[in-house]
């Protein structure tokens, strides 16, 4: 069981609300959790050439990972969290290290699929907001790398589809994500909880605050967090599966810079450990940061990161004396002529 230091200021969850009322509470302290885990299905082959034998085990793979993540959600609640973000593609191993058509059959509906239904049930039972990244197959047959956002009463508020899809290689291995899923088409269902105009970067009014999502590769693009912050996000969650020397080196730089520039909290969750049969080492190092830097991890659970996010601090004067929103000059940033040019 996770051991967490007590904090009486932590928001304990939503109170009863009238139908149609704004889910967003007054500014508060939110205790938030990230998972840091790996594939929970143990009967994986030892060699990549043998993965075809898993074609009849896809439901078992999904069920094992859903059950494992449900346990982590319950552990996060026991630690006092009112918000938890699961890892990217949390219902499966990271299969995009090769091109194997069988993995496409793991994709499921982002509303009625078995994973979403299970996560909605545990969210309601634990009174906790859940961000659950899954492998989505929509009704048209297209597939997406998607995160569903579930409020603390089990209501499905909507979803985010990964906008930028990578394909490449580094010194540890290759990744072929474009083989499995498309970049977001922005064709997401709208609900009263979606507070942003952008169909690609929705912001959700949850019972613990305004939440945005950017998945893994999205974090490298300046427009991702900028879009979410402009739409009112207070907390940006970035579930990721990342590996390699440069990724490891930059992991602790990207989120704090965006959090400082946009005055938001960011939680970066990375897979941790090796997954047979590919045995790529995922370095973990999940953490939360805010506009003033990294936040303490209050958890002793090996697969959970827990931090307290003071939403009131986002609206307080910057201790450095900076006011970046006030002092920005967007008219000078793009399309302007270089000083001294004849244009």
- CA neighbor of 289 nearest in space, from 317, 316, 320, 258: 258
Instruction: Tell me the per-residue pLDDT of 4-56, one tens digit each, with 9 for 90 and over.
Output: 333 323 333 333 333 334 555 566 899 999 999 999 999 999 999 999 999 99
pLDDT at position 22 is 55
Q: Are the C-beta atoms of 235 and 309 separated by less than 8 Å?
A: yes
Structural domains of the chain, count: 1
Cα-based torsion angle of the residue sequence 181, 287, 119, 17 in order, rounded to the nearest 10 degrees: -120
The answer to whether residue 3 is domain-embedded is no
User: What gap in Å lies between CA 65 and CA 59, rounded to an integer?
Assistant: 10
Give residue 335's pLDDT band: very low, low, confident or very high (50, 70, 90): low
Look up the domain containing 123 and give its range: 29-47+57-311
pLDDT at position 268 is 98
The answer to whether residue 168 is domain-embedded is yes
User: What gap in Å lies between CA 294 and CA 23, rounded to an integer?
Assistant: 28
Of 22-31, 83-92, 114-123, 222-231, least confident by mean pLDDT is 22-31
The answer to whether residue 20 is domain-embedded is no
User: What gap in Å lies between CA 264 and CA 282, rounded to an integer?
Assistant: 26
Residue 185: CB atoms within 10 A of its CB come to 14
The pTM of the full predicted model, rounded to 2 decimals, is 0.91
pLDDT at position 334 is 79
The answer to whether residue 290 is domain-embedded is yes
The answer to whether residue 4 is domain-embedded is no
The answer to whether residue 12 is domain-embedded is no
The answer to whether residue 10 is domain-embedded is no
The answer to whether residue 8 is domain-embedded is no
- CA neighbor of 288 nearest in space, from 273, 317, 310: 310
pLDDT at 236 over 70: yes
CATH of the domain at 235: 3.60.110.10
């Amino acid at each position: 069981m996770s051991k967490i230091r007590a904090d009486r200021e932590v928001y304990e969850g939503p109170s009863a609300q009238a139908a149609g009322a704004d889910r967003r509470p007054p500014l508060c302290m939110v205790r938030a959790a990230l998972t840091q885990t790996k594939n929970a299905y143990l009967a994986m082959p030892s060699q990549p050439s043998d993965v075809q034998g898993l074609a009849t085990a896809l439901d078992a793979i999904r069920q094992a990972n859903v059950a494992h993540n449900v346990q982590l959600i319950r552990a996060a609640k026991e630690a006092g969290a009112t918000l938890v973000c699961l890892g990217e593609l949390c219902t499966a191993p990271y299969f995009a290290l090769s091109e194997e058509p069988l993995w496409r059959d793991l994709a499921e509906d982002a509303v009625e699929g078995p994973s979403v239904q299970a996560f909605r049930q545990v969210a309601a039972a634990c009174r906790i907001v859940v961000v659950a990244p899954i492998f989505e197959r929509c009704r048209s047959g297209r597939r997406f790398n998607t995160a569903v956002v579930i409020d603390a009463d089990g209501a499905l508020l909507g979803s985010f589809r990964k906008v930028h899809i990578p394909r490449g290689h580094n010194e540890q291995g290759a990744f072929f994500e474009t083989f499995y899923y498309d970049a977001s088409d922005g064709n997401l269902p709208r609900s009263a909880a979606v507070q942003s105009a952008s169909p690609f970067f929705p912001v959700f009014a949850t019972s613990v605050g305004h939440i945005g999502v950017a998945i893994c590769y999205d974090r490298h693009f300046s427009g991702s967090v900028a879009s979410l912050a402009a739409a009112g996000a207070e907390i940006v969650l970035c579930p990721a599966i990342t590996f390699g020397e440069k990724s490891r080196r930059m992991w602790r730089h990207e989120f704090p810079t965006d959090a400082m520039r946009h005055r938001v909290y960011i939680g970066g969750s990375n897979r941790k450990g090796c997954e047979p049969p590919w045995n790529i080492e995922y370095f973990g190092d999940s953490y939360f940061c805010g506009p003033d830097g990294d936040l303490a991890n209050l958890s002793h659970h090996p697969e959970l990161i827990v931090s307290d996010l003071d939403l009131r601090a986002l609206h307080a004067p910057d201790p450095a004396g900076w006011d970046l929103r006030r002092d920005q000059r967007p008219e000078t940033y793009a399309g302007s002529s270089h000083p001294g040019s004849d244009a």
